[in-house]
């Protein structure tokens, strides 16, 4: 299994997940998440090399829909949900960099 | 451009093409370009809480068609989530194929005989589009950005080539040939300027026969010209950097069309931890043989095959004719040429009229039947219409449709009677005695002079061949 | 309070009206909602309009549907067009979805009257409804105790006689455990039986919507209404709703029922005693009882607490302040997203997002998420082997009766253990029912869990009905 959870791991994960943590929260979450991961060590003892991973409970395949246009939402309805909208678009504070 | 001092460039291209479906990849919103912002959106493509994706069957079939045209293996595939935060991506993850793409392997043969391998061609969804307010209107210096989700969820196929390309000209030829294939399969309209086909180029340099060097990825090249210039610039930059004792850093670079330079956009970093995992809201894709056979059966001939077929009907084509064939294949006009040749029209004439007049009037092409095109060209060939008149008739047919004979009659393009033509020629002989004498003494070039004068007097109604006939009769 | 079956029958016959039944329901809500904190939003106006439409249809002689005029409570992670839907989170406060979940459409079609939206653990993450941003829900049977969770509001609505039935969602036990703690019947349907379209996802490969009710028959009616193929959900089973009501009284004669050691291990003695008495009741009704050990069940908790947070970390990424819900403004868009998410999510949600992000992140994927998916395979195989020896499995739903507020909030791992008996079913995508059987400490109800393979709902409900009768509720 993975190495024990470190404080910097939690800080890294919080950054990836777009969450800001105070120092106290960082300590608390490091301890609590560490407990959950420690509990998960029971899985590490298993030899599952030849076991197939299951991402889905049932094996449906090829579920598709016809390429037929259905009504979209009214723009007023869509933009009424937005915290900020201008010129028919969703407005956000400046974007600092291009998409990866 | 060629690199000096034994340097060689190594290029691989990632081409993203939007698929020409009626609806988006996972919802029934219209997939159309140029709608008012945020009018083609619904809970699914806005990523509203609780919404779920359902695959568009047509998108899968177009992806398979692309794979078949690229000689790829169509295999059972899955969808993953690529997780990163960005405001134009409504779910803050992109649904994309990852380790098991629908198409893997394959190749594309270029007109010059070279072959570029294909690594994969997988399905994924497009993002929305952001525009930037304040500053220069570009992303840097803007104080606010606006997002339109009309393009969000539009189906894309990403075609990844092997690192087999060795020059920017070859990269361009690859992109053009691939574009032709995408258009032929009906998968895409290939409009780079509208963003329906976008290219990322991975460029590295090496001393020939050395292992590959560190590569840089140039993002979002949206014209063939940019593609070629950006690759040349980037390869040269890397050579100069290495020769000056530096090392190339793996990064994503941006091509500036105006300054004609690439510049650092983003250094590969830990933020690239995309946490790919299987998309639990979609099930696996495993097209069975019957489905694949149906798609294969509907696959039209690809550009290379059509090019060969058309060229084979021309007698030792000139360079200009090779260019014309290219235009005709690219625009899908070859069926017109074949129909006219079958109708007895001279292949050179059929090719010329398709590559020029039809290409210029492409917007009205649906109004013109193969039959009407063939009849018009036969009339021209038989002398019923002059070249000018034939072009006018084609223009009219493309603009408004109709029957070639009726259009010619309505325009007053009656065949000039041989009496009138004879009288005109006789008149000109009197008017230009010196020229006539030289013609009579065997200077064939003077025939053109008399044809020109006849055309002038008859306002282009005469047929060139008929004029030559009259001249010869009086020699 | 009348059962849903009785209300529907009487509304259709004209013995009562949808409007009268709704007013009774609204009066019950008014009487105790402040004390119990069950409903986050009561849609009086919409419900009255719906009820009078049903009364009009009855007056015109139309046959309305199997839930004619039945008031129903909706867990607030289900989208209902125009009605505030919060998932008990600040991040969605004030959001009104522009569309209905498929189950809402089906309820309305069947004549049900949605009364309002019930409290839950934020984004369905919890087992006590203490994680709600809008305060905990109290157990109507003992207001010093939790109703269970995460469908605690829906369970409390039924237990407090506010509505005869309610919808919940179950990702790791979130219907069955509150049903057990509130003395109700609760069903976790087979994965894919009920459309998830419009259910705000917690963990997509585990979530299922299901019924909560006082009687087995009411759960059968409600499940039959909401089940069946939905083209809007790619994971929806491609078949019509199963026939459940017709089989409720089929009994268990000839069935093989296995008492699973791991499904009582560590449970309080009063809970174990109830399960044992339940096996006797099933035997008396003609079933064969065997005992089984399924050691793989012990790994369920570990696999679940990696798989569910992993999916959740991705499902909850969209709450970024751009398109809907809360926005905390900042200088640039990345800072805005971070400020919004930091302010909008509660501690448990953050905990699970970080756990899931970690499990999926570069370098840890194989050790955690990848390994958990393999354990999931083993869990499915273990169930299959068990079903070669038995038609149904039996065990406890929860290790104890309803616990007191704050008993487990300081230790997440202790709270997670509340779901140890319910999680295996979700991982395998199979079906299970919790049915009240006997009481324990302080006279509080105990839930017995019946587990079956995928699509075994009819069998499970029939067995639950046998226990219901044996427990004195004919
Ligand atoms: Mg891509
Ligand atoms: Zn849409």
Nearest to B277 among C198, C310, C322 (CB): C310
C-proximal residues of A, 79-98, CB under 8 Å: 81-84, 90, 92-96
Query: What was the pLDDT predicted at B416?
Result: 67
Question: What pTM value is reported for the model?
Answer: 0.91
Report which bound ligand comes closest to the CA of B200.
1
pLDDT tens-digit map of B13-23: 999 999 999 99
Choose the closest CB to A70 out of B28, B127, B145: B28
Pairwise CA distance, residues C225 & B87, whole Å: 39
Residues linked to residue C394 through DSSP beta bridges, in sequence order: C259, C450
Nearest CA-CA distance, residue B278 and chain A, Å:
7
Angle between helices B168-185 and B57-69 (to 10 degrees): 130
DSSP string of C444-466? -EEEEEEEE-TT-HHHHHHHHHH
The reported pLDDT for the residue numbered B76 is 96
Q: Cβ atoms within 10 A of the Cβ of C330, count?
A: 15
Residue B275, CA atoms < 13 Å, CB-side half-sphere: 29
Yes or no, beta carbons of A93 and C333 under 8 Å apart: yes
| Model confidence band, residue B467 (pLDDT cutoffs 50, 70, 90) | confident
Phi and psi angles of residue B267, each rounded to the nearest 5 degrees, phi first: -85, 140
How close A63 gets to chain C, by Cα (Å)? Answer: 6
Give the domain extent around A26: 7-44
Residue B86 Cα to ligand 2 middle (Å) = 19
Question: What token pair was written down for C52?
Answer: 């009078």
Average pLDDT, chain C: 97
pLDDT of residue A2: 46
Would you state the pLDDT for residue B315? 84
Angle between helices B370-381 and B387-400 (to 10 degrees): 160
In the reported structure, the alpha carbon of residue C394 is separated from the centroid of ligand 1 by a whole-number distance in angstroms of: 48
Between C410 and C443, the higher pLDDT residue: C443
Q: Summarize the confidence of residues C9-23 as an average pLDDT.
A: 98
Calpha distance B251→C412 (Å, rounded): 42
Q: Is the peptide bond prior to B16 cis by the omega test (within 30 degrees of 0)?
A: no
CATH 2.30.30.60 for domain C4-245, yes or no, is: no
Report the DSSP beta bridge partners of residue C186.
C212, C434
In a domain, A55, yes or no: no
What integer is the mean pLDDT of C89-101? 97
% chain B with pLDDT above 90: 74
Share of chain C above pLDDT 70, in %: 100
Residue pLDDT, tens place only, B201-244: 999 999 988 999 999 999 989 899 999 999 999 999 999 999 99
Residues C190-234 pLDDT 10s? 999 999 999 999 999 999 999 999 999 999 999 999 999 999 999
Answer yes or no: C434 catalytic.
no
Position A14 in a domain: yes
Q: Does residue C457 carry a pLDDT above 60?
A: yes
Catalytic entry in C128, C150, C274, C313: C150
Q: Which of B41, B46, B60, B115 is nearest to B283 (CA)?
A: B60
pLDDT at C203: 98
The percent of residues in chain C predicted with pLDDT above 90, rounded, is 96
The predicted pLDDT at position B415 comes to: 64
Q: Is the pLDDT score of A3 beyond 70?
A: no
In the predicted model, is pLDDT for residue A8 greater than 60?
Answer: yes
Residues C377-399 have a mean pLDDT of 97
CATH number at residue A17: 1.10.20
Rounded to an integer, what distance in angstroms lies between the CA atom of residue B463 and that of residue A60? 70
**Contact residues, chain A, for B287 at CB < 8 Å:** 62
**Cβ-Cβ contacts under 8 Å, B54 against chain C:** 231-234
Ligand nearest B29 Cα, by number? 2
Total H helices, total E strands in chain A: 4, 3
CA-derived radius of gyration, chain A: 22
Nearest-CB residue to C378 (from A51, A65, A94): A51
pLDDT over threshold 70, residue C123:
yes
User: Residues 31..50 of A with a Cβ closer than 8 Å to C: which?
Assistant: 32-33, 35-37, 39-40, 42-44, 46, 48
pLDDT tens digits, residue range C284-321? 999 999 999 999 999 999 999 999 999 999 999 999 99
CB contact under 8 A, C99 and B43: yes
A12, A72, A73, best to mutate vs chain B, most B CBs in 10 Å: A72
Question: Is a pLDDT exceeding 60 seen at residue C433?
Answer: yes
B260-294 pLDDT tens trace: 999 888 776 555 799 999 999 999 999 999 999 99
pLDDT tens-digit profile of C27-79? 999 999 999 999 999 999 999 999 999 999 999 999 999 999 999 999 999 99
User: In angstroms, what CA-CA distances link B276 with A16, B273, C368?
Assistant: 13, 8, 14
CB contact under 8 A, C361 and A93: no
Q: How many CB pairs under 8 A join A and C?
A: 172
pLDDT digits (tens, 9 = 90+) for B77-98: 999 999 999 999 999 999 999 9
Q: Is C295 on the interface with A (CB under 8 A)?
A: no
How far apart are alpha carbons C377 and A26 in whole angstroms?
34
ipTM over the 0.95 cut-off:
yes
Task: State how far the Cα of B397 lies from the Cα of B361, in Å rounded to an integer.
Answer: 10
* pLDDT at residue B136 is higher than 70: no
CA–CA separation, B302 and C372 (whole Å) = 47
Measured between CB atoms, does B80 come within 8 Å of chain C? no
> Of the listed C19, C25, C75, C418, which one is catalytic?
C75
Confidence at residue B466, expressed as pLDDT on a 0 to 100 scale:
80
Helices (H) and strands (E) in chain B, counts: 16, 16
Q: Is it the case that residue B55 has pLDDT exceeding 90?
A: yes
Residue A38 lies in a domain: yes
Full DSSP string of C341-364: HHHHS-HHHHHHHHHHHHHHSTTT
Q: Is the pLDDT of residue C81 over 90?
A: yes
pLDDT score for A1: 43
Q: Is C75 a catalytic residue?
A: yes
- The set of long-range contacts for B327-331, using a CB threshold of 8 Å and a minimum separation of 24, is B327/B355, B327/B359, B328/B354, B328/B355, B328/B359, B329/B180, B329/B303, B330/B176, B330/B180, B330/B183, B330/B303, B331/B358, B331/B359, B331/B362
Quick one: pLDDT band at residue B473, thresholds 50, 70, 90? confident
pLDDT at B138 over 70: no
C374 a catalytic residue = no
Tokens matching residue C151: 């469908």
Q: How many domains does chain A have?
A: 1
Q: Is the pLDDT of residue C370 over 50?
A: yes
């Amino acid at each position: 299994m993975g190495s024990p959870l470190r404080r910097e791991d939690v800080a890294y994960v919080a950054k990836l997940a777009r969450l800001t943590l105070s120092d106290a929260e960082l300590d608390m979450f490091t301890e609590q998440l560490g407990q959950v991961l420690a509990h998960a060590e029971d899985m590490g003892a298993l030899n599952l090399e030849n076991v197939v991973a299951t991402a889905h409970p049932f094996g449906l395949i090829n579920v598709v829909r016809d390429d037929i246009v259905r009504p979209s939402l009214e723009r007023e309805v869509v933009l009424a949900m937005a915290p900020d909208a201008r010129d028919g678009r969703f407005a956000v504070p400046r974007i600092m960099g291009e998409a990866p | 451009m060629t690199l000096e001092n034994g340097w060689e460039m190594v290029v691989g291209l990632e081409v993203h093409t939007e698929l020409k479906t009626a609806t988006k990849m996972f919802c029934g919103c219209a997939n159309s370009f140029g709608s008012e912002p945020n009018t083609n959106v619904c809970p699914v493509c806005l990523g509203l809480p609780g919404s779920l994706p359902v695959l568009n069957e047509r998108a899968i079939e177009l992806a398979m068609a692309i794979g078949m045209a690229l000689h790829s293996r169509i295999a059972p595939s899955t969808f993953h989530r690529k997780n990163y935060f960005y405001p134009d991506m409504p779910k803050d993850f992109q649904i994309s194929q990852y380790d098991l793409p629908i198409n893997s392997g394959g190749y594309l043969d270029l007109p010059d005989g070279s072959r570029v391998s294909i690594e994969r061609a997988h399905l994924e969804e497009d993002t929305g589009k952001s525009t930037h307010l304040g500053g220069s209107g570009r992303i840097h210096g803007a104080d606010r950005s606006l997002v339109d989700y009309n393009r969000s969820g539009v189906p894309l196929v990403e075609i990844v080539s092997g690192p087999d390309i060795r020059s920017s000209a070859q990269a361009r030829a690859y992109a053009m040939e691939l574009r032709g294939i995408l258009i032929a399969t009906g998968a895409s309209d290939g409009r780079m300027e509208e963003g329906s086909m976008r290219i990322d180029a991975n460029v590295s340099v090496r001393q020939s026969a050395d292992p590959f060097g560190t590569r840089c990825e140039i993002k979002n090249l949206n014209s063939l010209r940019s593609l070629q210039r950006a690759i040349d610039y980037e390869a040269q930059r890397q050579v100069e950097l290495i020769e000056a004792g530096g090392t190339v850093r793996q990064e994503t670079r941006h091509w500036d069309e105006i300054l004609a330079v690439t510049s650092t956009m983003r250094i590969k970093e830990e933020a690239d931890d995309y946490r790919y995992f299987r998309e639990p809201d979609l099930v696996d894709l495993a097209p069975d043989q019957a489905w694949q056979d149906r798609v294969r059966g509907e696959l039209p001939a690809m550009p290379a095959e059509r090019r060969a077929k058309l060229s084979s009907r021309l007698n030792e084509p000139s360079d200009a004719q090779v260019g014309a064939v290219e235009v005709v294949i690219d625009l899908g006009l070859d069926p017109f040429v074949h129909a006219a040749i079958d109708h007895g029209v001279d292949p050179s004439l059929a090719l010329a009229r398709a590559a020029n007049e039809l290409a210029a009037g492409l917007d009205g092409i649906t109004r013109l039947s193969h039959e009407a095109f063939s009849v018009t060209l036969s009339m021209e060939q038989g002398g019923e219409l002059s070249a000018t008149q034939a072009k006018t008739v084609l223009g009219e047919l493309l603009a408004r449709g109709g029957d070639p004979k009726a259009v010619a009659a309505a325009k007053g393009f009656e065949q000039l009677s041989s009496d009138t033509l004879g009288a005109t020629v006789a008149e000109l002989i009197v008017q230009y005695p010196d020229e006539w004498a030289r013609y009579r003494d065997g200077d064939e070039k003077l025939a053109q002079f008399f044809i020109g004068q006849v055309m002038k007097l008859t306002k282009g109604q005469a047929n060139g061949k008929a004029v030559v006939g009259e001249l010869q009769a009086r020699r | 309070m009348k059962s849903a079956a009785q209300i529907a029958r009487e509304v259709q016959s004209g013995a009562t009206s949808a409007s009268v039944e709704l007013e009774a329901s609204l009066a019950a809500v008014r009487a105790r909602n402040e004390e119990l904190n069950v409903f986050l939003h009561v849609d009086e106006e919409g419900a009255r309009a719906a009820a009078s439409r049903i009364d009009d249809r009855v007056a015109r002689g139309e046959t309305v549907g199997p839930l004619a005029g039945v008031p129903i409570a909706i867990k607030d992670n289900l989208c209902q067009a125009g009605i505030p839907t919060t998932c008990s989170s600040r991040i969605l406060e004030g959001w009104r979805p522009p569309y209905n979940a498929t189950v809402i459409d089906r309820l309305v079609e069947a004549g049900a009257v949605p009364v309002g939206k019930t409290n839950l653990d934020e984004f369905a993450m919890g087992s006590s409804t203490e994680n709600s941003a809008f305060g905990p829900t109290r157990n109507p049977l003992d207001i010093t105790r939790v109703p269970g969770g995460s469908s605690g509001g829906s369970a409390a609505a039924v237990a407090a006689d506010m509505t005869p039935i309610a919808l919940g969602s179950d990702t790791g036990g979130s219907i069955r455990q509150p049903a057990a703690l509130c003395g109700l019947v609760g069903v976790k349907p087979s994965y894919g039986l009920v459309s998830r379209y419009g259910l705000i996802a917690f963990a997509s490969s585990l979530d299922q919507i299901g019924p909560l009710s006082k009687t087995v028959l009411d759960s059968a009616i409600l499940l039959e209404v909401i089940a069946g193929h939905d083209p809007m959900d790619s994971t929806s089973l491609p078949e019509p709703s199963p026939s459940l009501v017709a089989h409720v009284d089929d009994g268990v004669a000839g069935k093989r029922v296995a008492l699973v050691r791991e499904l009582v291990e560590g449970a309080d003695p009063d809970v174990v005693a109830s399960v044992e008495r339940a096996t006797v009741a099933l035997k008396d009704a003609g079933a064969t009882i065997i005992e089984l050990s399924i050691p793989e069940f012990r790994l369920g908790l570990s696999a679940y607490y990696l798989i569910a947070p992993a999916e959740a970390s991705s499902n909850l990424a969209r709450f970024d302040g751009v398109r809907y819900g809360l926005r905390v403004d900042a200088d640039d868009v990345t800072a805005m997203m971070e400020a919004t998410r930091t302010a909008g999510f509660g501690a448990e949600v953050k905990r699970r997002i970080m756990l899931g992000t970690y499990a999926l992140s570069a370098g840890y994927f194989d050790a955690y998420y990848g390994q958990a998916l393999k354990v999931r395979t083993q869990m499915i195989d273990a169930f299959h082997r068990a079903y070669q020896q038995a038609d149904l499995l039996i065990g406890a739903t929860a290790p104890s009766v309803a616990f007191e507020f704050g008993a487990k909030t300081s230790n997440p791992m202790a709270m997670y253990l509340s779901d140890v008996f319910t999680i295996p079913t979700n991982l395998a995508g199979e079906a299970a029912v919790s049915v009240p059987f006997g009481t324990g400490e302080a006279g509080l109800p105990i839930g017995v869990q019946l587990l079956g393979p995928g699509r075994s709902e009819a069998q499970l409900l029939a067995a639950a009905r046998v226990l219901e009768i044996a427990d004195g509720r004919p």
